Chains A and B, each alone.
Chain A
């Protein structure tokens, strides 16, 4: 025969066990989930690279006092291409072409123009404030050529047209001018 005191003790033990079990499985209020956070920082360096895919313009023979230019693509004009990672501003300069007339002279001119790339659009800023889009006397030192030439491979070229007029008193013979184009980050 179990006494009442023993039963009371068992019931108290039952209550304690039940309380401990319940409290141990109650989830804390601040539930921890799978939240995760992190930062990724990537820097793409600046690369300024330009090339002249067509780097020679040969006008062939020209008679004293006559004009020739690349505006008809005969001969083919210079194409300047941005192979870097950022837009660039490009300047131009050239050594004298004629022995009788030094740069800058109307006998030796350049003009910035669009190429076929980019469809009807321009791959650079075609506004006169940014680019020399009208015939301009070739400067002996830095002169504006193209502004903000894009680096996107689908549209990253500009054309440099050249117009020459052989001075009437220019001695016969071969003439050469070195044209330098310089790019800086735009």
Chain B
């Protein structure tokens, strides 16, 4: 009879531990589910470089001035 009581006590302790573990796991999952989802973000860098680079040779173009001189 004493041995059966001891076994029942052990079972009760184990049941309590099981209940605690299950409740703790459930609480952790519920807590995490309630947390906001971190936003997804993207980051990039755009670099634009407008010359001068490298040195460019000067360019030329021409025009004409014309006149016809007449005597006084």
Contacts and interface: CB of A to CB of B under 8 A. Distances in A.
Nearest to B8: A4
Nearest to A164: B67
A175 B63 contact: no
Contacts of A181: 60-63
B25 A21 contact: yes
B42 A170 contact: no
Interface residues of B, number: 51
A57 B65 contact: yes
B9 to A, nearest CB: 10
Interface in A17-49: 18-19, 21-22, 25-27, 31, 33-49
A53 to B, nearest CB: 10
B34 interface: no
Contact of B44 (A33, A40, A56): A40
Contact of A62 (B18, B22, B69): B69
Given A35-B42, A62-B67, A63-B70, A182 B49 contact: no
Contacts of B29: 22, 25-26
Contacts of A21: 25
Nearest to B39: A33
Interface in B30-72: 32, 38-72
Interface of B: 4, 7-8, 10-11, 14-15, 17-18, 21-22, 24-25, 28-29, 32, 38-72
Interface of A: 4-5, 7-8, 11-12, 14-15, 18-19, 21-22, 25-27, 31, 33-52, 54-65, 68, 78, 85-86, 94, 97, 108, 160, 162, 164, 166, 170-185
